[in-house]
A and B are shown apart, each in its own frame.
Chain A
Amino acid sequence: MDRELLKGSTPLLLLSLLSEGPMYGYQIIETVRTRTEGSYTLKEGALYPALHKLEAAEFISSYWETQPNGRERRYYAVQPAGAAFLEAKKREWKQFVDMVQGFVGPRG
């Protein structure tokens, strides 16, 4: 898989995951690994800067939550501006896929 393409898509990938519900860092890494069947591993040096950028843009927010075992985790949750941005990008993505499909897809 083209890693450059994936790098540019990380914010959208994260927004998409967080739109399913709040998640903490390692949970995101594991979810990405599971869903891509191990073909894409999000490293800490890419994940946290991307999350912090999304937070700086107010597309997501974060909060610390104490677990029953006393440990703390920082959760990230999508904000209305982030949800709106994701929807707009999904529409653009669909248009792009449809357009490319018209050239490289099977011809009827």
Chain B
Amino acid sequence: MAAYLGEVELGLSPLPRRRRKELIRELEANLIDEAESLGLASEAAIGAVLDAKEAPSDIARELVATETDSSRHRRRTKLLAGGAVGLATGGYLLILGLVLNRPWRLSMSIGLALGLAVGVGIFWVRSHWQRMNPAARVLLAMALGTLLATPMGFIMGKTFLWTWLSYGTFAGYLVERFQSGRKPVGWIMDNLAFTALLFSLATVQQKHWFLEWSDWQLVLRSMLFNFVLQVGVWGGLHLHRLLDGHWLLKPNRA
């Protein structure tokens, strides 16, 4: 068995050492399970079973091809999913900027920061916390989103506006929350809660009651931006899953 696994490992040489060891460990566990299940004890009996299997170089080739293909696919989907968030938020702000006569660079910077840093970052890292319970995943995504949104705090100039971090928090929350579907009432409640959070943070930051409820346009704009962010994350997730589905059902072997 050691010789068989050694040959497979040799074929896995293009992969990083850690990944190679993990794949060999898994294959070894499989072979031991099979030997136990068949009641094989002698090396000769195990050797006979191994002889009937696929050649080690074939297994290694399949594994290496899958690893390479997976990395390519992951890079592409994370970038596109994050890009959807950036396109939605940046695009909305660009239109708003044109209407309100604000600099377009600001809209683009926010779109890039939200989409590429926050979007791609969360989509990329979340695979590492998949086995945690849903509440912990949401909290982690919110924390990471907040952290990745840090550059947005500097977007308005020299003063650090930490209210902008809440968009990263919201994006992180949405990525995890949308994983198992969200009803329309959930969308509305999320939007209202984060709009309220944003105005509360602005009040603390400005050290005076920030929101005049009579200023309905400001409230509406905030809610609309949050809605665009919701649509962006939802769209990004759906795009991600669509690409995953096509990729998975593509035959792996020639």
A and B part of one assembly: yes
Please determine whether A52 and B251 come into contact, CB atoms closer than 8 angstroms: no
Q: Chain A binding site: helix, strand, loop or mixed by DSSP?
A: helix
Check if A54 is an interface residue, CB within 8 A of chain B: yes
**CB of A99 closer than 8 Å to a CB of B:** no
Residues of chain B at the chain A interface (Cβ within 8 Å): 23, 25-27, 29-30, 32-34, 37, 53-54, 58-59, 62-63, 65-67, 69-70, 73-74, 126-127, 130-131, 179-181, 241, 244-245, 247-249, 251-253
Q: Report chain B residues within 8 Å CB of A63.
A: 131
Is A81 a contact partner of B62 (Cβ separation < 8 A)?
no
Query: With A57-B247, A73-B33, A85-B245 given, is the CB distance from A44 to B66 under 8 Å?
Result: no
B66 contacts which of A4, A52, A58, A79 (Cβ < 8 Å)? A52
Query: Within the complex, which residue of B32, B33, B53, B70 is in contact with A43, where a contact is CB–CB below 8 Å?
Result: B53
* Residue A71, interface by CB 8 Å: yes
Is the pair B30, A85 in contact by a Cβ cutoff of 8 Å? no
Contact status B62-A45, CB under 8 Å: yes
Could you say which residues of chain A place their CB within 8 Å of the CB of B241?
A: 81, 84-85
Closest residue of chain A to B181, judged by CB?
A84
Main secondary structure on B side of the interface with A: helix
Residues of chain B lying within 8 A (CB to CB) of residue A45: 54, 58-59, 62-63
Which interface class (under 10, 10 to 19, 20 to 34, 35 or more) fits A? 35 or more
Bound: A30/B30 CA distance, A: 11
Check B29–A72 contact: CB distance below 8 A: yes
Of chain A, the residue at the smallest CB distance from B67 is: A52
**Smallest beta-carbon distance B128→chain A, Å:** 10
Known: A43-B54, A53-B252, A59-B244. Is A48-B130 also a contact (CB below 8 A)?
Answer: no
* Residue A21 lies at the interface, judged by CB distance under 8 Å to chain B: no
Minimum Cβ distance to chain B for residue A94 (Å): 17
A73 to chain B, nearest CB (A): 5
A56 within 8 A of B: yes
12 A-B residue pairs with CB within 8 Å? A44-B27, A45-B59, A45-B63, A46-B253, A52-B67, A52-B70, A54-B248, A57-B248, A63-B131, A71-B29, A72-B25, A85-B245
Task: State which of B23, B65, B181, B251 has its C-beta within 8 Å of the C-beta of A7.
Answer: B251
Cβ A59 vs Cβ B63 within 8 A: no
Contact A46-B30, Cβ < 8 Å, known A52-B63, A57-B244, A58-B130: no
Expressed in whole angstroms, the Cα–Cα distance for A53 and B67 within the complex equals 8
Cβ distance B62 to chain A, nearest Cβ, rounded Å: 5
A25 pairs with B58, CB closer than 8 A: no
- Cross-chain contact B32 with A71 (CB below 8 angstroms): yes
Chain B residues contacting A85 (CB-CB under 8 Å) are 241, 244-245, 248
A74 adjacent to B67 (CB under 8 Å): no
* Selected contact of B73 from candidates A8, A56, A74, CB within 8 Å: A56
Pick the contact of A44: B30, B131, B252 (CB < 8 A).
B30
Residues of chain A within 8 A of B181, CB atoms compared: 84
Residues of B within 8 A of A11 (CB): 248-249
Q: Inside 8 A of A52's CB, which chain B residues have their CB? A: 63, 66-67, 70
The answer, yes or no, to whether A49 is at the interface (CB within 8 Å) is yes
Nearest 6 pairs between A and B by C-beta?
Answer: A26-B33, A56-B70, A49-B66, A57-B244, A45-B59, A61-B130
**Residue A50 lies at the interface, judged by CB distance under 8 Å to chain B:** yes
B125 to chain A, nearest CB (A): 12
- For residue B133, give the distance in angstroms from its CB to the closest CB of chain A: 12
